[in-house]
Amino acid sequence: GAISQQQVTRAIILAHGYATASSIANVANRLLKSQLFESFDMPLDVTPEAIANQVMAYIESHALASGLIILVDMGSLNAIHRHFNRRLSTPMAIINNVSTGMAMYVGERILQGVMLEDIVREIGDDLAVEHQLYYPQTDKPRAILTTCATGLGAAANLSALLKASIPEALGIDIVAC
């Protein structure tokens, strides 16, 4: 059956910048076809206390029986709970390094009715940082050029001599020019 609004875990995205949190929340909400995420953007000139007051106003106006997950981008927002002016009456998790992928992960689990504690326990393993490192192609063909000031005769003879004496496994081209 459907989960009632009172029983659903709530989720907030907090991020520095003018539209970072709202952009991530908008994409996740649209892809999940559900208004799961509330967002609070934090321009650099806004204090963590001011954002905490906005979050507290949200908490006071919404039923949070199953808990609250706050996804933050970095730094001072990771300790946002220190600025809350009253005790919470429900479990709350703060998860750092928010991304659209993380919001999707959390949102899908909330919609599946996964408990807050289980989401928090599993997210670190399930969302490990993936990375690839690419280097520019620097393998140039290995070659020995043989030349002759009077023409190709000596160069061709020297090339044949080198081809006979250098093992093919070394991958060196012998070029007469």
Domains of the chain by start residue, with CATH: 10-126 (3.40.50.510), 142-176 (no CATH)
Model pTM?
Answer: 0.70
Residues 6+ apart with CB under 8 A from 166: 144, 172, 174
Residues 6+ apart with CB under 8 A from 148: 154, 155, 156, 158
Provide the percentage of residues in the chain whose pLDDT is more than 90: 36
122-155 pLDDT, tens digit each: 998 888 777 777 777 777 788 888 888 777 678 8
Range with the poorest average pLDDT among 69-73, 135-139, 168-172: 135-139
